Amino acid sequence: MTESKQTDGRVSRLTRFWREWRGFVYFVIAMILFRSVIADWNQVPSGSMEPNIMVGDRIVVDKISYDLRVPFTLTRIHQWSDPDRGDVITFPNPRDDEVYVKRLIAVPGDVVEMRNNRLIINGERATYRQVEGDLANQLSSQLHQRSLRTHRLLEETVLGSTRIIMESRRRGNPMTRSFGPIEVPSDSFFVMGDNRDNSKDSREFGFLERDRILGRAYAIAFSVDTSKYYMPRPSRFFTDLE
* Domain residue ranges in the chain: 1-37, 41-240
pLDDT in tens, the chain (242 residues): 455 555 555 657 777 766 777 777 777 777 776 677 777 888 888 889 999 999 989 999 999 999 988 888 888 888 989 999 999 999 999 888 899 999 999 999 999 999 999 999 999 999 999 988 777 777 777 776 555 678 889 999 999 889 999 998 777 666 688 998 999 999 999 999 999 998 999 999 999 999 999 999 999 999 988 888 888 988 889 899 87
What is the distance between the alpha carbons of residues 147 and 141, in angstroms, rounded to a whole number?
Answer: 8
Q: What is the CATH number of domain 41-240?
A: 2.10.109.10
Task: Read off the pTM.
Answer: 0.86
Whether the Cβ atoms of residue 72 and residue 36 lie closer than 8 Å to each other: yes
Residues 6+ apart with CB under 8 A from 75: 69
